[in-house]
Structure 1
Amino acid sequence: MAEPALAGETLHTTPLHAEHVALGARMVPFAGYDMPVQYPTGILTEHLWTREHAGLFDVSHMGQAALAGPDHETVARALEALVPCDVLNLKPGQQRYSQLLADDGGILDDLMITRPATPEEAGHLYLVVNAGGKEPDYAHIGARLPEGVRLVRGDDRALLALQGPAAEGVVRRMGCAAADLTFMQTGWFEMAGCRVHVSRSGYTGEDGFEISVKDTDAVALWRALLADGAVKPIGLGARDSLRLEAGLCLYGHDIDTLTSPVEAGLTWSIQKRRREEGGFPGAARVQAEIKDGSARVRVGIRPEGRAPAREGATITTPDGREIGVVTSGGFGPTVNGPVAMGYVARENAAVGNEVLLIVRGKPMPAKIASMPFAPHRYKR
């Protein structure tokens, strides 16, 4: 998960940086930020704690912004010119996952889109984009908005993620009504004396919440959540192993500008109206791939044995014919074995197909597997 810092690069910090250091976190450069990759107990322990209890993540490096305009229809149609999901029919208090698409249908970034529930925010949509892409994303969106719709950056907000089966109980013990939300519902709430915007969502496959809070309130909220015995702080290392087991894409690895949503197995995120009507960048390619199938598809992979296959490993047929590449791979603590995902030619994508992964020049037997590797446990 760590990225080497460039010579002379000044890393950004989140409002919780001093909290991580005080907790003994190992800090690493990530997406231009100095972020905790793990705490003293280690990635394996953090991963399993999140699956069994509740993990608290600082994801304040993510980009938070809003689109603001005269009414929902105007703002929704402005965003629908950039993404393939149905924004127009998003209900108040609902969130939806989508992708910013290039003109050729490649993915510029993936993002979460929320329609606020409060009447005074009727002409607003909230956006959360990836840390590494937020500046290009904001520039891309801002340059393509019609008159009367503007992008409002939320640089004064922090973002915390509380994930795991105990998360609901933690929120309920704090007396916060966000505990009654279901998956992909959102709203404004009071939590630990702070006004917060909460969505019941996350990036681990577990039930949980993402909590947007003013940066000046972030430390108080972080400490209040950690005061519950079910909660422990979790770093980027376990965040990556959790999302890999959940079969969730990481931008710049499993999806990028060369990948379409159909190839990536994200067709579910394009609602029927948009599939039929188009009207988004790359619609011709996306519609053709939905109709006829894409030449390659994202698949899950289970290597035999205990050794993991990392990003970049070549995937071949048993007789050595190259058919694809691994895009994410590592050890899955929940499944107690190595897991990976990658892209293979469509004719080789059937679950159970035997393949070889070329790791350090040596072929490693593996099979195409269904995802997620660990079951999703969202609160429906």
Structure 2
Amino acid sequence: MSETSDNLKQLPLGDWHRAAGGRMVPFAGYEMPVQYEGVMAEHLWTRENAGLFDVSHMGQLNLTGEGAAEALEALVPGNISALGVGKIRYTLLLAKDGGILDDLMVTNTGRNLYLVVNGATKQDDIAYLEAELPKGITLSHLEDLALLALQGPKAAEALARLDIRSTFPDGPVPGDLYFMEAGPFMWNDIPLGISRSGYTGEDGYEISVSAADAQSLAEALVALPEVQPIGLGARDSLRLEAGLPLYGHDMDAGILPVEANLNFALSKARREEGNFAGAERVLAQYPRGAARKRVGLLVDGRQPVREGAAVVDADGAVIGNVTSGGFSPTLQRPIAMAYVPMELAGSGTQILVEQRKKQITCTVADMPFVPHRYHRKPKL
């Protein structure tokens, strides 16, 4: 069934986005704002200030029960049982054959595991988890929560203006968090779950808040001089510059972690244990045994190459495919991600992309295209 306004789900802030001038489009089964003032302006604003994104379409889940971390580890290659309280781990939900079913963030709250999964796959993720997790492990879908992302170099400065307090006596304020850390907070007697994380390559936060209180928080944030609402268009161009894959485009169930250039998600301890879904097939490719690899491309000229364009050899035979592409507002040139044969995956290699019967020269480039600016904990 095609997505129309009649069958799309509505965000808790849907009316607020329309009132703010958001142009609404179908995305992941929801009606969501693609832009307000324009993608280019919103992208550059986020790079220089702080942008507020509504990502309430994402799935927020709680996993509880004795041995929840070990149970989840049967399905992901990340070291979840070693995750400290208040720490976050990026990992991959894997099928029995090692294909990527989704990518997700896992937080150890100290009481349970809090998972954020992709909006387009959340129902399938829930069904898979419920079928595979052992008895005694409870999975809860937190459908009464919204999720807002405040991203950009002035995000911490902006959030500090709201007088958000830890729920613990003498606990940290959000500005005390480092990248991939999280905690429970209160604002105007409203509970918030705040993590220092995001999907733009910039410093920033994701804030889980009740759907009923989401508008109050959004209005308080955009009233600050550093903050403007930002749509899906700039979210996509920012994550492309940051070299971050989008599920359903740059990876899917037919792609394994090494092919997706996500070796870092295969933790050393879990590689040694080899007891996660599809481990034999996944580890057979580690670290360079895959036939293909997701790479970044710098595109010659001014015309972007788009998802679906073919990577071809000198004779015009298809040898790969573009999975994401667009114009980089920061670099002022087209960039893309593509799957290419492993022997062509080295930085500086020239390849050809065919789009609309025209061949375009591209150069394999290291990712991220624009350096990440995460607020990392200093190394001792």
TM (normalized to structure 1)? 0.94
Does structure 2 retain, via aligned residues, the 8 Å contact 1:15–1:218? yes
In the alignment, which residue of structure 1 is the partner of 2:17?
Answer: 20
**Structure 2 residue identity aligned to 1:178:** P
How far apart, in 2, do the equivalents of 1:303 and 1:154 lie? 42
2:85 pairs with 1:92: yes
Displacement of 1:320 in angstroms is 3.5
**Structure 1 residue identity aligned to 2:126:** Y
Structure 1 stretches lacking a partner, 5+ long = none
Displacement of 1:291 in angstroms is 4.8
1:278 to 274, 294, 304: 274
How far apart, in 1, do the equivalents of 2:3 and 2:300 lie? 37
In the alignment, which residue of structure 2 is the partner of 1:29?
Answer: 26
2:158 pairs with 1:158: no
1:6 to 3, 7, 10: 3
Q: Deviations over 1:194-237 (max 9, x none)?
A: 21001100000000000000111101001111111100000001
In the alignment, which residue of structure 1 is the partner of 2:215?
Answer: 219
SS across alignment from 2:234? helix
Note the 1:176-187 alignment, pairs <5 A. Answer: 176=164, 177-187=173-183
1:208 to 204, 210, 221: 204
2:155 pairs with 1:167: yes
In the alignment, which residue of structure 2 is the partner of 1:68?
Answer: 64
SS across alignment from 1:131? coil
**Structure 2 residue identity aligned to 1:85:** G
**Structure 2 residue identity aligned to 1:17:** G
**Structure 2 residue identity aligned to 1:185:** E
In the alignment, which residue of structure 1 is the partner of 2:170?
Answer: none
How far apart, in 2, do the equivalents of 1:318 and 1:304 lie? 17
Q: Percent identity?
A: 55
2:317 pairs with 1:308: no
* Deviation larger for 5-14 or 163-172: 5-14
**Structure 2 residue identity aligned to 1:63:** G
SS across alignment from 1:112? strand
Q: Deviations over 1:88-122 (max 9, x none)?
A: 000000000111101111011111100004xxx1x
Does structure 1 retain, via aligned residues, the 8 Å contact 2:259–2:293? yes
How far apart, in 2, do the equivalents of 1:225 and 1:85 lie? 34
Distance 1:108 1:27, change over 3 A: same
In the alignment, which residue of structure 2 is the partner of 1:149?
Answer: 137
Q: Deviations over 1:305-358 (max 9, x none)?
A: 110000011112345343211000000101111000010000011111111111
TM (normalized to structure 2)? 0.94
Does structure 2 retain, via aligned residues, the 8 Å contact 1:323–1:348? no
Displacement of 1:173 in angstroms is 1.6
Does structure 1 retain, via aligned residues, the 8 Å contact 2:22–2:35? yes
Does structure 1 retain, via aligned residues, the 8 Å contact 2:296–2:336? yes
SS across alignment from 1:363? strand
* Deviation larger for 9-18 or 107-116: 9-18
Does structure 1 retain, via aligned residues, the 8 Å contact 2:3–2:29? no
In the alignment, which residue of structure 2 is the partner of 1:108?
Answer: 101
Q: Deviations over 1:241-265 (max 9, x none)?
A: 0000000000000000111111111
Distance 1:320 1:154, change over 3 A: same
Structure 2 stretches lacking a partner, 5+ long = 165-172
2:114 pairs with 1:126: yes
Computed over aligned residues only, the root mean square deviation of the Cα atoms, in angstroms, reads 1.3
Does structure 2 retain, via aligned residues, the 8 Å contact 1:47–1:242? yes
How far apart, in 2, do the equivalents of 1:8 and 1:322 lie? 38
How far apart, in 2, do the equivalents of 1:173 and 1:33 lie? 31
Distance 1:357 1:180, change over 3 A: same
How far apart, in 2, do the equivalents of 1:15 and 1:292 lie? 44
In the alignment, which residue of structure 1 is the partner of 2:167?
Answer: none
How far apart, in 2, do the equivalents of 1:61 and 1:191 lie? 23
In the alignment, which residue of structure 2 is the partner of 1:357?
Answer: 353
SS across alignment from 1:92? coil
How far apart, in 2, do the equivalents of 1:23 and 1:144 lie? 43
**Structure 1 residue identity aligned to 2:330:** T
**Structure 2 residue identity aligned to 1:164:** G
How far apart, in 1, do the equivalents of 2:190 and 2:314 lie? 57
How far apart, in 1, do the equivalents of 2:4 and 2:223 lie? 39
Does structure 2 retain, via aligned residues, the 8 Å contact 1:174–1:192? no
Does structure 1 retain, via aligned residues, the 8 Å contact 2:5–2:31? no
SS across alignment from 2:251? coil
In the alignment, which residue of structure 2 is the partner of 1:81?
Answer: 74
SS across alignment from 1:184? coil
Distance 1:291 1:228, change over 3 A: closer
Does structure 1 retain, via aligned residues, the 8 Å contact 2:258–2:287? no
SS across alignment from 1:51? helix
* Deviation larger for 310-319 or 23-32: 310-319
Number of aligned pairs?
Answer: 368
2:322 pairs with 1:326: yes
Does structure 1 retain, via aligned residues, the 8 Å contact 2:96–2:277? yes
